[in-house]
Chains A and B, each alone.
Chain A
């Protein structure tokens, strides 16, 4: 239960971020509500002060005339007759008191000892602060009050001024009820509230409708683009009307048309390319097979032939081998170019595979006087790979190392990590010139164009190896320094479709004793 408000909050945040419509509607709601409240408050304030100031002015003029009449009456009195003064005061109050009960009049003595005149409720309604103000200033003063009438109270205005009655001073107060003004204000308030709410609702509604009109085609475009991306190239947007959004839909559809055309064109080209490769393969391979067999038969019977014919048949054999491997490599690389290479991964023991490659390379290692030093784990390392391709990569790397190893040992290392496995093959030959490490994978690249090509390599081996490793989602990298030899590192994910974050083996060789000694010398 504790989680639910959190979850609701998260859902709301998500909605806020994910939906343009929600955002626009909510923003409109907040802004229009703020503005409405502001405008409402200002108008109410204006109306209120207008109403009250006119009430105050009316009160002032009423009081003025009241004072005049009271003072006139008091002046007419003989001096020093307190009872006459009291009578007159009572008379004034009675005379001045509102005819229609519009207001109430109260006469209060300035100092103690004299009686107050006026209705009981009105007398108690006059706050002492007002009395103090009138006494202090000796002039008129007013304030808003709560008019008491029995137990009920209502808004009112009290205004008072001193009156000289012979020797004594009275204070004459007028109390005006503000019930009408209050009613007017309440009415205005209610009207404003209603109008404001209606306005906010209207604006929110407009925002919702407008954004929906805009958002709907955008959402439709997004969904259509999503489906297009998923490969459903026939998906199109609906075009309605001739407005901006219809233009969007039309442009979108034109883009999709072009895309579809391009893709089907590419597909067709790729299909033709694959078809061509297959056809060339078949057409070339059959005659080569015949030539190869004929050469072999010639070679078998070469003892009976003159020496130059024997040598010719040997050359024919050797060049046929080279031609065949070149053809095979060309076909393989064009298969990659056509995107027709398929990974057939199955779990195999990579240690076993490496051992097998080393065993098969032993005759070449003997010929080159380069011993192969293997540093492999004792336990099997099971990896999901296409055995044919990885076997080809390893064979290529080991053969390369032996051929460029200059009779120095070739080191083969294998290490498994958490998500990947790495094999490095290092030779101690001439190494690579700076910048060559990235070029070695280029097609028909040669370290030294002037150097005679003694080996039967096709110049495509490393390019194919790179594609083979990439097909597994792995890396094939080279490192080399002049005089330091060359390192090739293959890093493969342990599982098909996985990714490698780091290689378990370093690409650059850690400074071993040999290198240190070279450095000291």
Chain B
């Protein structure tokens, strides 16, 4: 089945070009150019992934991102012209899974999209434990004391990656490769923001994390129960 991608961008030339590239790569793109109509288009097309430009007429990209995230866990990849940390972090904080800075190479974009759409390998009923959390890899669910914690697929992947090798300390680059599918790209902001978001959901006290523990100067590891 062809994966559906919703492109939210106000630049017609870029949208059209994105459409050509995405179709070539076997995706099924649909387009919306106005922030105000983005949510309606999202409902109508039920995309597997959203490509979202941050600067939009009407509703701002950040708000669109928040609105989509509020009702769906669908992966969101932001397109941004600004690599400034504030913009990137704001975008990630509003719920985006990944971002790509213009101008990008088409291959890079496709790699990011594929990484987000990648189906997890068959895990054969794998059940993981991290701290006091239970992780059902197949069922894509995380529970604490019988209560389900809702995570986005990316946050889930991040947690699973850590939980699978509880004694291993992951560097940010290793996490980028395993979870985001990046190679040879150092972007610690991406990892940091998502770890903060994950902690906000799974930690009892995000100020004193026990599930995702920082190893100073190296990276992160799973907390011991």
A and B, one complex?
A: yes
* Other-chain contact of A349, B18, B86, B217 (Cβ < 8 Å): B217
On chain B, the residues within 8 Å of A287 by CB distance are: 11, 13-14
A297 and B18 alpha carbons, distance in the complex (Å):
11
| Of B99-107, B115-123, B132-140, B198-206, the one touching chain A | B99-107
- The 0/1 profile, CB within 8 Å of A marked 1, for residues 152-168 of chain B is 00000000000000000
On chain A, the residues within 8 Å of B24 by CB distance are: 297, 300
**Distance in Å: Cβ of A344 to nearest Cβ of chain B:** 6
On chain B, the residues within 8 Å of A293 by CB distance are: 14, 17-18, 20-21, 106
* Other-chain contact of B81, A282, A335, A352, A356 (Cβ < 8 Å): A282
**Distance in Å: Cβ of A312 to nearest Cβ of chain B:** 18
Contact check, A286 vs B11: say whether CB atoms are below 8 A apart.
yes
Contact check, B104 vs A289: say whether CB atoms are below 8 A apart.
yes
**Distance in Å: Cβ of B184 to nearest Cβ of chain A:** 6
> Considering the complex, which residues of chain B in the window 156-215 have a beta carbon less than 8 Å from any beta carbon of chain A?
171, 173, 184, 186-189, 192
- Judge whether A311 is part of the interface by a CB distance below 8 angstroms: no
Query: How many residue pairs bridge A and B at CB < 8 Å?
Result: 81
On chain B, the residues within 8 Å of A356 by CB distance are: 173, 186
- Judge whether A387 is part of the interface by a CB distance below 8 angstroms: yes
Contact check, B217 vs A347: say whether CB atoms are below 8 A apart.
yes
- Judge whether A285 is part of the interface by a CB distance below 8 angstroms: yes
- Judge whether B150 is part of the interface by a CB distance below 8 angstroms: no
Contact check, A388 vs B187: say whether CB atoms are below 8 A apart.
yes
**Distance in Å: Cβ of B149 to nearest Cβ of chain A:** 27
On chain A, the residues within 8 Å of B217 by CB distance are: 347-349, 380, 382
Contact check, A281 vs B186: say whether CB atoms are below 8 A apart.
no
- Judge whether B216 is part of the interface by a CB distance below 8 angstroms: yes
* Other-chain contact of A382, B13, B14, B216 (Cβ < 8 Å): B216
- Judge whether B55 is part of the interface by a CB distance below 8 angstroms: yes
> Considering the complex, which residues of chain A in the window 334-359 have a beta carbon less than 8 Å from any beta carbon of chain B?
335, 340, 342, 344, 346-349, 352, 356
Contact check, A288 vs B102: say whether CB atoms are below 8 A apart.
yes
Contact check, B188 vs A292: say whether CB atoms are below 8 A apart.
no
A352 and B219 alpha carbons, distance in the complex (Å):
12
Knowing A281-B82, A346-B188, A388-B186, say if A297 contacts B20 (CB, 8 Å).
Answer: yes
- Judge whether A294 is part of the interface by a CB distance below 8 angstroms: yes
**Distance in Å: Cβ of A32 to nearest Cβ of chain B:** 66
- Judge whether A296 is part of the interface by a CB distance below 8 angstroms: yes
Contact check, B216 vs A282: say whether CB atoms are below 8 A apart.
no
Minimum CB distance partner of B184 in chain A: A360
Contact check, A288 vs B103: say whether CB atoms are below 8 A apart.
yes
On chain B, the residues within 8 Å of A296 by CB distance are: 21, 105-107
- Judge whether B225 is part of the interface by a CB distance below 8 angstroms: no
Contact check, B14 vs A289: say whether CB atoms are below 8 A apart.
yes
**Distance in Å: Cβ of A326 to nearest Cβ of chain B:** 12
**Distance in Å: Cβ of A6 to nearest Cβ of chain B:** 45
> Considering the complex, which residues of chain B in the window 37-74 have a beta carbon less than 8 Å from any beta carbon of chain A?
55
- Judge whether A290 is part of the interface by a CB distance below 8 angstroms: yes
- Judge whether B218 is part of the interface by a CB distance below 8 angstroms: yes
- Judge whether A419 is part of the interface by a CB distance below 8 angstroms: no
Contact check, B85 vs A344: say whether CB atoms are below 8 A apart.
yes
On chain B, the residues within 8 Å of A360 by CB distance are: 184
**Distance in Å: Cβ of A512 to nearest Cβ of chain B:** 32
- The 0/1 profile, CB within 8 Å of B marked 1, for residues 265-296 of chain A is 00000000000001001100111111111101
| Interface size of B in residues (CB-CB distance below 8 Å) | 32
A291 and B103 alpha carbons, distance in the complex (Å):
9
- Judge whether A324 is part of the interface by a CB distance below 8 angstroms: yes
Contact check, A285 vs B103: say whether CB atoms are below 8 A apart.
yes
Contact check, B186 vs A387: say whether CB atoms are below 8 A apart.
yes
Interface centre among A289, A340, A380 (most CB of B within 10 A): A289
On chain B, the residues within 8 Å of A342 by CB distance are: 85-86
**Distance in Å: Cβ of A294 to nearest Cβ of chain B:** 6
- The 0/1 profile, CB within 8 Å of B marked 1, for residues 352-393 of chain A is 100010001000000000000000000010100001100100
On chain B, the residues within 8 Å of A391 by CB distance are: 186
Contact check, A292 vs B105: say whether CB atoms are below 8 A apart.
yes
Contact check, B85 vs A292: say whether CB atoms are below 8 A apart.
no
**Distance in Å: Cβ of A493 to nearest Cβ of chain B:** 15
Minimum CB distance partner of B86 in chain A: A342
Contact check, A290 vs B13: say whether CB atoms are below 8 A apart.
yes
Minimum CB distance partner of B53 in chain A: A286
Interface centre among A282, A285, A288 (most CB of B within 10 A): A285
Interface centre among B13, B20, B173, B217 (most CB of A within 10 A): B217
A289 and B13 alpha carbons, distance in the complex (Å):
10
- The 0/1 profile, CB within 8 Å of A marked 1, for residues 2-19 of chain B is 000000000101100110
Minimum CB distance partner of A324 in chain B: B103
Contact check, A292 vs B103: say whether CB atoms are below 8 A apart.
yes
**Distance in Å: Cβ of B16 to nearest Cβ of chain A:** 8
Contact check, A290 vs B216: say whether CB atoms are below 8 A apart.
no
On chain A, the residues within 8 Å of B187 by CB distance are: 388
Contact check, B188 vs A388: say whether CB atoms are below 8 A apart.
yes
Minimum CB distance partner of A353 in chain B: B186
Contact check, A285 vs B17: say whether CB atoms are below 8 A apart.
no
Contact check, B55 vs A282: say whether CB atoms are below 8 A apart.
yes
**Distance in Å: Cβ of B196 to nearest Cβ of chain A:** 13
On chain A, the residues within 8 Å of B186 by CB distance are: 356, 387-388, 391
A387 and B84 alpha carbons, distance in the complex (Å):
14
On chain B, the residues within 8 Å of A344 by CB distance are: 85, 189
Can you list 23 A-B pairs, Cβ within 8 angstroms, ordered by A?
A278-B82, A282-B81, A286-B81, A287-B11, A287-B13, A288-B102, A289-B17, A289-B103, A290-B14, A290-B17, A291-B103, A294-B17, A296-B21, A296-B107, A297-B17, A297-B20, A297-B24, A324-B103, A342-B85, A347-B216, A349-B217, A349-B218, A387-B186
Closest 10 CB pairs of A and B: A382-B217, A282-B81, A285-B102, A288-B103, A289-B103, A285-B81, A347-B217, A293-B17, A289-B102, A296-B106
A-binding residues in B (CB < 8 A): 11, 13-14, 17-18, 20-21, 24, 55, 81-82, 84-86, 101-107, 171, 173, 184, 186-189, 192, 216-218
6 further contact pairs, Cβ within 8 A, besides A293-B20, A293-B106: A286-B11, A287-B13, A290-B13, A292-B104, A344-B85, A360-B184
